[in-house]
Each structure stands twice: as C-alpha cells, then as structure tokens.
Amino acid sequence: MSAAKPNTVNAFSWSAVLVAAIFLFGLWFGAAEFLQLDSFPNPVVVLQELPEFLLDKNAWLALLASLGRMAVAYAIALVLAVTLGLAMGRSRRIYCFFYPIVSFFYPMPKAALMPILMLWFGLGSFSKVLVIALGVSLPLLFHSYIGALRVDQKMIWAAEAMGMGYWRRLFKIVLPAALPEIMIGCRVGIVMALIIMVSSEMIARQQGIGNVLFTALDMAHYSMVYLVILLLALIGVILDWFFELLRDFFSYD
C-alpha cells in the first residue's frame, strides 16, 4: 500500500493569497494618497493603464521577445547545468576540477557581465541569453549536485553490476533519483531568470519588456512603470506556481 501523495499545491490557500493581495493594495493606496507624489501613483491609477498595454502590439511583441529569450536561456542552462551537477555529485575528479570555477562565478553579479558581453557579442539577443543562462545555471547545478550526492549507493552498485556505463548510470539511475532536488533548483532558477532577463534588457536597451519599463521611466510615465512591474510579478508568481506543481509531482514516492 503506497503512501498518499503530498499535495502541497491543493493545500495552498488561495483565499489567503487574495487577502494578502487586498492588504498590500490597500497599503499601497493609502501610502500613495498620503504622499501625493507623481512618481508614486496609487494602484487604481496604475491599473487604468492595463487596457492601453493590452492593446499595444509593440508591448506584446516586447514581452514575447523577452519570454522567448528567457525560455531559450533556461533550456540551455537546464541541459548543461543539470548534467554537470549530476556528474560533480558522482565523480570526485569532476567535482575537484569544476568546483573552483563555480566558486569564482557564484558570487559575481550576473548583470555586471552584461557590458562585457555587449562588447564581445553586441546588443542583440545572444548576449542577453548568455547572461541569463549563466545566472540560472548556478542554482540548477547546485541542486543537481546535492540530489546526486543523496542517491543510494546501492543503486549505483547494482547498475554497475548490470554493466551500465558511467553516463548511462547518470541518466538512467542518478537523474530520476535526484529529480525532486533538481526541481527545487528549477523553481529557484526560473525566478532568477526573470530577474536577470529584465536587468539585462534595462542595460542593453534594444528590445524587450525591460526596455519598455525603462522607456516609460524616461518619459515619466510612472503609472506604466508600476504596471509593467506588476505584470512581471504576476508572471513570476505563475511560473513559481507551475514549478511547484512539477516539484509536487516529482516528489511523489
């Protein structure tokens, strides 16, 4: 008889989320009305900009371009970082070689690399995809490494006895066993991808939602600035919820 699947998502209280959202919007409204600053509009004024944004073709193209770059960068990081993390967790030599490199890049602000990448690769999508992939790779690599360390050694010995090679063991045995931990890294990484995506587009202002945000700021269109921030926060919440669903699924034993 199998244990019941933990359903953390269904246990999540959406009513509590609604109450928290109402509280934050009320706090925002009260602070905006008290301060009376042009640069701090109340949420009612901000939400009035929503129809303009939804009907703006260029804003949608910018948002889709940003999400497309983020998806490509995330896919690249997922393949490379998870593979390397699993290998580091199961091989001492691979760990000893890559650990100093990872330790060097880990504390480095990824957006700080953007000016250098712009010099090397220009202002196009490639430099933005690269900096996003670098930022996302670290949590993916770390949690993949931790997941690989926790795999039962008896499973590895059994696979070796069956004649499985190193890389086949890595993907047939270690990867499935480490998936719950990897999904934690995926959840952290998707939020980091969103943050770095916007940061990179605010530095290399050519196309994307970060450019829309900064252009609105330059034009003192403050209500649009706050609306874009709200939309990005909503996208982050949806992505985080989606990855929590996946983590809940892969955590089932």
CA distances to 136, 188, 202 from 17, rounded to whole Å, are 27, 20, 30
pLDDT tens per residue across span 84-125: 998 888 888 988 998 888 888 777 777 677 777 777 877 677
* 108 lies in some domain: yes
Question: Is 251 a residue whose pLDDT tops 70?
Answer: no
Q: Identify the CATH number of the domain in which residue 244 sits.
A: 1.10.3720.10
Q: Mean pLDDT check: name the lowest of 45-49, 144-148, 189-193, 197-201.
A: 197-201
What are the tens digits of pLDDT across the range 1-51?
A: 344 444 444 445 667 778 888 898 899 899 988 888 888 888 888 998 888
Task: Please indicate, yes or no, if residue 36 is contained in any of the structural domains.
Answer: no
Question: Does residue 14 lie within any of the structural domains?
Answer: no
Distance CA 125, CA 211 (A): 13
DSSP 120-137: HH-SSHHHHHHHHHHHHH
What's the confidence (pLDDT) of residue 226? 92
209: containing domain: 42-250
Residue 94 falls inside a structural domain:
yes
What total number of domains does the chain contain? 1
| 144-169: pLDDT as tens digits | 999 888 887 787 778 777 877 777 88
Residue 60 covered by a domain: yes
pLDDT at 59 over 60: yes
Q: What is the pLDDT of residue 76?
A: 93
In a domain, 12, yes or no: no
Asked whether residue 133 is domain-assigned, the answer is yes
